[in-house]
Amino acid sequence: MDAISDFRFLLPLQAGQSVAVFGCYETLVQALRDDKINVSIYNEGIPSGPCFDHILIPRLTREQSNRFPHEFARLLRPNGTIFVGFANRVSIDRLFVPLSGVDSALYSLGRFRKFLQNSGLSLHRSYGIRDLERPQFVVSLDQPFPSRFFFAQMFYPHSIQAAFGRKVSNCFASLGLHRFLFKYFGVVAVKKSPRKTND
């Protein structure tokens, strides 16, 4: 089973709930079914209905981003959660890989948070991910400590250049600039319940 299937642990899934998965992720879908989750798969397009308890988008494509987050928020039940993986627009890796060479949607975390808020979604958790296709490590960005620990203890360089990069990364993390160190972000957002009005 590949590491993408572990994205399901970032959502509060329960047996019998419904989940929409956008993209072709067979191991993720099988893992959800093994957990007794009702799964709907969408490789292309966005359905007009029904509503789901949760949505998983391991890699938000540029095409999907044109309809995100309004169309996806519409598919979520109140208090439903959504996981979205996307490319970090302000990553230091962008110095070496031009924006045109990235096949995923590109956002900064701040801009993405605003998109979510405008659609009735609130950011619940944010994560730094080095590689969305092989997410060996998913590091919490809500506090700087996990990033400092990751680059100090878990990230092993295999060359002199990488060893220098590790020192730079530790410096960035200690200054609270850890969000610039990851190529990709993963976020979990929650759909707000409609406010009850007193008649």
Question: Per residue in 20-76, pLDDT tens?
Answer: 999 889 999 999 999 999 999 998 778 877 799 999 999 988 888 877 788 888 899
- pLDDT for residue 198: 58
Please indicate, yes or no, if residue 140 is contained in any of the structural domains.
no
> How do residues 126-136 score in pLDDT, each as one tens digit?
999 988 888 88
Whether this prediction's pTM lies above 0.75 is answered by yes
Contacts of 73 by beta carbon, 8 Å cutoff, 6+ apart: 82, 119, 120, 121, 191
In angstroms, the CA 55 to CA 63 distance is 17
Identity of the residue numbered 14:
Q
How do 106-107 and 76-88 pair as beta strands? parallel
Please indicate, yes or no, if residue 77 is contained in any of the structural domains.
yes
- pLDDT for residue 152: 66
CATH number of the domain where residue 60 is located: 3.40.50.150
Q: Please say if the pLDDT value at position 100 is more than 70.
A: no
Please indicate, yes or no, if residue 173 is contained in any of the structural domains.
no
Q: Tally the domains of the chain.
A: 1
Please indicate, yes or no, if residue 107 is contained in any of the structural domains.
yes
Taking all residues of the chain, what is their mean pLDDT, rounded to a whole number?
A: 82
In angstroms, the CA 105 to CA 65 distance is 6
Could you tell me the residue range of the domain that residue 96 belongs to?
3-135+181-191
In angstroms, the CA 7 to CA 40 distance is 16
